[in-house]
Chains A and B, each alone.
Chain A
Amino acid sequence: MSTKGITPLLWFLFGAGGMVSALFFPVHIFLVGLAFPLGWFEAPSYEALHSLVLHPITRLYLFVFIFLPLFHWAHRFRYTLYDLFQIQHGLQMPIAVLCYGAALVGTLMAAYTLFTIT
């Protein structure tokens, strides 16, 4: 088993995930992590957010928001581990499998949640 054949795909997902997170994550973390908890802006109510999330476009947006950045993390983290710890060939495959595997699990959970949420 090797990731060689799909490396171009994995790199593409890394790039796409990088773009999605670069453009959308700063404002999201600013609002959700800082502005709302600290009361700088009034946080949306449960009902408002709930109905927003149920909208099909929001579901799609949130899926992409989670799926692509997870694969961005997986690809980048895998290579950073290789570089930082000078991982030799033997350990390289298990690390790759763990990273992409984790991203896949997250993606499947996101798909399930966003598809079934009521």
Chain B
Amino acid sequence: MAETIKLKVSRYRPEEESEPTFQSYDAPYNKDWVLLDALNHVKNEIDGSLTFRWSCRMGVCGSCGMMVNGTPKLTCAIPLTDYDPSEPVLIEPLQFFPVIRDLVVDITGFLAKLSSVKPWIIRDDEDTSSSDEAEYRQTPAELDAYKQYSMCINCMLCYSACPVVGLESDFTGPAAIALAQRYNLDSRDQGAAERMEILNEHEGLWGCTFVGECTKVCPKNVDPAGAIQLYKLATATDWFKSMLLPWGSK
């Protein structure tokens, strides 16, 4: 078995250069390691200036997303031995995001998009003074209706996979729209109409052309593409209802 594997890592030092460059490092081809371990080895033993995000190292925090050989992945979730040691592994920051340094990208735009869809339980009546309203009960079937969309860890791999995110910087994007659906379909929530107002826009729902790559790269099987298409269907159903039954309530 090979001794080392070459990592070809994108470096960007804004104080020194105006564009990213590549730097190669040899990491031990350890069969027990994930790609993140190899990156940490580089940082600890070879080049302390290499900068990247990571935290839980077990696929729940969403911090360690990077482009690996052109595909967005969580580096803590890929065994090093998935890669042939005779070829270098290309590691770049998540695409379609501004790069701050090396493999670290600016996520403020993403966070703004998440909050734009009002990702919290919206109630028509906010009065919780009576104890009857202190608890919202939900059956297992009601939980099933939105549970899949609640599994998102905000890792942004879907944004790096979606070409529309790259083409239209204002596009709300897969995770945010799936998050809106997570609340729309929650039986405790009454804010679907409010969110539909926000997302029934070109930069919202309608920017999506169902490429489907977001769902392919999602490490948590959230299926944002499916969430978005169902949301489009709900919007169309709503449109017909409002046209054909204008006297209908809500």
A and B touch in the complex (CB under 8 A): yes
Cβ of A7 within 8 Å of any chain B Cβ, yes or no, is yes
**CB pair A4 B200 closer than 8 Å:** yes
Cβ of A9 within 8 Å of any chain B Cβ, yes or no, is yes
Cβ of A83 within 8 Å of any chain B Cβ, yes or no, is yes
Cβ of A8 within 8 Å of any chain B Cβ, yes or no, is yes
Number of residue pairs A-B, CB distance < 8 angstroms: 33
> A12-B236, A79-B209, A83-B209 are contacts. A7–B164 as well, Cβ < 8 Å?
no
In the complex, what residues of A have CB within 8 A of residue B201's CB? 4
> A12-B236, A79-B209, A83-B209 are contacts. A7–B163 as well, Cβ < 8 Å?
no
Q: Which residue of A lies closest to B202 (CB)?
A: A4
In the complex, what residues of B have CB within 8 A of residue A116's CB? none
Cβ of B144 within 8 Å of any chain A Cβ, yes or no, is no
In the bound assembly, the distance between CA atoms of A11 and B164 in angstroms comes to 17
Shortest Cβ distance from B150 into chain A, in angstroms?
26
Cβ of A51 within 8 Å of any chain B Cβ, yes or no, is no
**CB pair B167 A8 closer than 8 Å:** no
B200, B206, B238 — which one has the most chain A CB atoms within 10 A of its CB? Answer: B206
Cβ of A118 within 8 Å of any chain B Cβ, yes or no, is no
In the bound assembly, the distance between CA atoms of A7 and B235 in angstroms comes to 9
> A79-B209, A83-B209 are contacts. A8–B163 as well, Cβ < 8 Å?
no
> A4-B200, A4-B202, A83-B167 are contacts. A11–B209 as well, Cβ < 8 Å?
no
Cβ of A45 within 8 Å of any chain B Cβ, yes or no, is no
Cβ of B232 within 8 Å of any chain A Cβ, yes or no, is yes
Shortest Cβ distance from A32 into chain B, in angstroms?
30
**CB pair B167 A11 closer than 8 Å:** no
In the complex, what residues of A have CB within 8 A of residue B232's CB? 8, 11
Contact with B along A64-97 (1 / 0, CB 8 A): 0000000000000001101100100000100000
**CB pair B164 A83 closer than 8 Å:** yes
**CB pair B202 A8 closer than 8 Å:** no
Contact with A along B96-107 (1 / 0, CB 8 A): 000000000000
Q: Which residue of A lies closest to B232 (CB)?
A: A11
A6, A8, A15, A79 — which one has the most chain B CB atoms within 10 A of its CB? Answer: A8
> A83-B163, A83-B164 are contacts. A11–B200 as well, Cβ < 8 Å?
no
Residues of A within 8 A of B (CB): 4, 6-9, 11-12, 15, 79-80, 82-83, 86, 92
Residues of B within 8 A of A (CB): 163-164, 167, 200-202, 206, 209, 232, 235-236, 238-240
20 interchain pairs, CB-CB under 8 A: A4-B200, A6-B239, A7-B200, A7-B202, A8-B232, A8-B235, A8-B236, A8-B239, A9-B236, A9-B239, A11-B206, A11-B235, A12-B240, A15-B236, A79-B209, A82-B167, A83-B164, A83-B167, A86-B167, A92-B202
A8-B232, A79-B209 known; 10 new pairs, CB 8 Å cut-off, are A4-B200, A4-B201, A6-B239, A7-B202, A8-B235, A8-B239, A11-B235, A12-B239, A83-B167, A83-B209
